[in-house]
Chain A
Amino acid sequence: MTRPCTILIVDDDTDLRDTLVDLLSDLGFDVVSAEHGAAALQIVQQRDLRPDVILLDIMMPVMDGPAFAAERKREPRLATVPVIALTAHRDSGWAARQVGAVACLSKPLKLEHLVAAIEAAASRPGGEP
């Protein structure tokens, strides 16, 4: 990678969000996080952020995963960015479809699976599944 891969994490669980920021930063990723979809959109617009991968939770207050996924298409900075869904839902396929994700990781997460999924998503030519 010529530049560090930027990951946008959108998850309302503070502990999980902080842990993901911590671990992925340690692994050399640029990490930005938000507690829900609306906060994520605000950050992207304020900082002119162009992430390479979005880690997206499904259930969140204010703006949940599906609502954010819909907004993403109207935001040029995010429209083609691949989304990895993070879910505790039993049916991960359903969860992935809800947010148009290229991959879906079920909670609890294995770090190596997460990293592999991020790298696979980041190397995709387009964001749409």
Chain B
Amino acid sequence: MRRNATILSIVVAVVGIAVVVFSELSGVSWPRIIGIVLISLGGIGVGVAAGLGDERPGRWLGRLRDARVAIGVALAIVMVLPVVAALAGAIVGFFSALGSGLNPAVVTGGGVIALLMLVAALGSVWIAVRAIRRAATPAGVPQEAAAGEERA
């Protein structure tokens, strides 16, 4: 029963993807929502069937878990790199934009926003990488609880 549900869900998702591909390549946009719905239902079906099943998470999921630090660090860098490039570009562009007749106050505001966002993006990568690496460190022996009032 569950196996059939999984197969059906996969089929539904694949049909949905095919519909989306057809819609995009043919330029007929109305079938796209049908494809989206099918993809969503198929994904939910696969997930629910696997989640409610008795099987332990597959070996590939175990591997995913084992490689979580490497994957996490790589993703953190790859996902943020483009936005860092854009913000760096904004800071470079800020100086030429200043003399181009645009409102200098707004341009300066833009430069400041770019700088802050750049710091936020780089800071996020730094925090996330540290957090991911720290999370993989064994927790060790439980520590005695310190009194809240003393800690405060």
| Chains A and B belong together in one complex | no
Q: Which residues of A come within 8 Å of B, CB atoms?
A: none
Q: Which residues of B come within 8 Å of A, CB atoms?
A: none
